[in-house]
Amino acid sequence: MLQHMTAMHKGWHVMLKSKHYKGKTFEDAVASVPPGDIAECNRQNRTHQNMTYRRGRTSIYQLKDDFVKTHQRESDLMEVFRMGRCNDLPDGTQRWVDNESNDRFERMTQMTTPSLQSDDAAPVSADDAFIAVMGRDRPGRVRCGGKAETLRTLYGRGEGSSSSGSYHTQVQ
């Protein structure tokens, strides 16, 4: 089995080299990329972001840890979303990084507030409201979860993009 997998990997690697390097060595392929092109591509990609993160180099993990120390409980996805995009000012008002973030947070709040719901509607948890407003997480990426968070690590073993479980039932 190991020999078969090794052969498959070598074949895949050769295919990638022939497709992308076109006879060049790896060092030549890297050296041929002009230095400003990658920075320009990244700059263009950032213009497509519609909601910015306001905490700079402070990671989501640090935000969550600070929240636990302050409130003695774990934060939900709505709270992490708010921490990353809203600044509480000394006069008691809030300053959001953009209107889109504020609008989405207001929709989440309306879904979770019992007085704003109709009488026949079932109560919605903060995480359910976050998923309903922000959309379903894609495989390999969890919003407001940090770089190391995946569907499997967040929702438990056996929960992933290909399996059905409580996460997919929750989203539906």
Q: How far apart are CA 156 and CA 130, in angstroms?
A: 19
Q: How many CA atoms lie within 13 A of 114 on its CB side?
A: 2
Average pLDDT, the chain: 76
pLDDT in tens, 14-58: 776 666 666 677 677 666 666 667 777 777 777 776 666 777 778
> How far is CA 157 from each of CA 74, 130, 163, 169, rounded to the nearest angstrom?
20, 22, 10, 16
Q: What is the pLDDT of residue 165?
A: 44
Q: What is the pLDDT of residue 84?
A: 86
Could you tell me the pTM of the whole model? 0.57
Q: What is the pLDDT of residue 135?
A: 84
Q: What is the pLDDT of residue 20?
A: 62
Better-predicted residue by pLDDT, 148 or 104: 104
